[in-house]
Structure 1
């Protein structure tokens, strides 16, 4: 009995059948998780790039004009949605503001428009990065946000991608809103 048990254990220890299957079963979940993580990261980076492009393009379109009409603003906001495509535009929010500094150094919002979020109140005093504005000048401030719904929420979870872009007006000291 002991001899047959010893022989069985010796044969079992020397048997290599199924080792590959066991190794695969141990490594496969890790490899699948790595693959899904890389897919998730590449999708998030693609959305981040679209958000940055949208903020840049909007600020550039506004800064090239000296007076923005309602029709132009609607077209610019629609263009921003086209830039973010093919991603869900319902998750996309944009706020465009013209902020100026008077000769005494007080900063105030001249006008603001938004889609998917609230516009800034005219005359409100936002906090901007230091050195961005000079007395008697203005700046176009574009804030873009995208509520990213991760396809594999278990890996990264949902998060917001946000971008701010500042440009000085090119045609005049202040871009007016008509």
Structure 2
């Protein structure tokens, strides 16, 4: 009996018929997880690039004008939704704000418009990064957010992609709002 068991053990050690199947079964889940993770990261980076482009383009559209009307602002906000395509525009929100600094150094919001988030109160004092404003000047501040919903939530989970963009007006010291 012991001799037969020893013989069977030696024979099984020499047998190599199922090695590939076992190796595949061990490696396949890891490879599938890596593939899905890379796909998820690639998609999130594409959304991030679109969000950055939208913030830049919207700030540029506002900074090129000296007076923004209601119709122009509607078109600019709609442009943001168009830039983010082919991703879901319902998850895209934007706030465009004109902030100025008085000659005495007081910073305040001149006007603000938003879609998908709350506009800033006129006359409020926002906290801006240092060096953005100088006395007697203004800046167009665009804040963009995208609520990213991952196709495979288990890998990365859902998260917000945000971007801020600051641009000085080109035609005048302050972009007015009608």
Structure 1 equivalent of residue 156 of structure 2 = 156
Give 1:88-167 correspondences, 5 Å limit.
88-167=88-167
**Pairwise CA distance, 1:56:** 0.3
Give 1:1-178 correspondences, 5 Å limit.
1-178=1-178
Q: TM-score, normalised by structure 2?
A: 0.99
Q: Number of aligned residue pairs: give it.
A: 178
Find the aligned partners of 1:131 and 1:60 in 2 and give their Cα distance. 19
**Pairwise CA distance, 1:79:** 0.7
Q: TM-score, normalised by structure 1?
A: 0.99
Q: What SS does the corresponding residue of 2:24 show, helix, strand or coil? A: helix
**Pairwise CA distance, 1:177:** 0.2
**Pairwise CA distance, 1:112:** 0.1
Find the aligned partners of 2:116 and 2:86 in 1 and give their Cα distance. 17
Alpha-carbon deviations, 1:76-116, whole Å to 9, x = none?
00111000011111111000000000011000000000000
Q: Which runs of 5+ in 1 are unaligned?
A: none
Alpha-carbon deviations, 1:10-32, whole Å to 9, x = none?
10111011000000000000000
Q: Which runs of 5+ in 2 are unaligned?
A: none
Q: What SS does the corresponding residue of 2:113 show, helix, strand or coil? A: strand
Q: What SS does the corresponding residue of 1:154 show, helix, strand or coil? A: helix
- Higher mean C-alpha displacement, 138-147 vs 3-12: 3-12
Q: What SS does the corresponding residue of 2:153 show, helix, strand or coil? A: coil
**Pairwise CA distance, 1:4:** 1.0
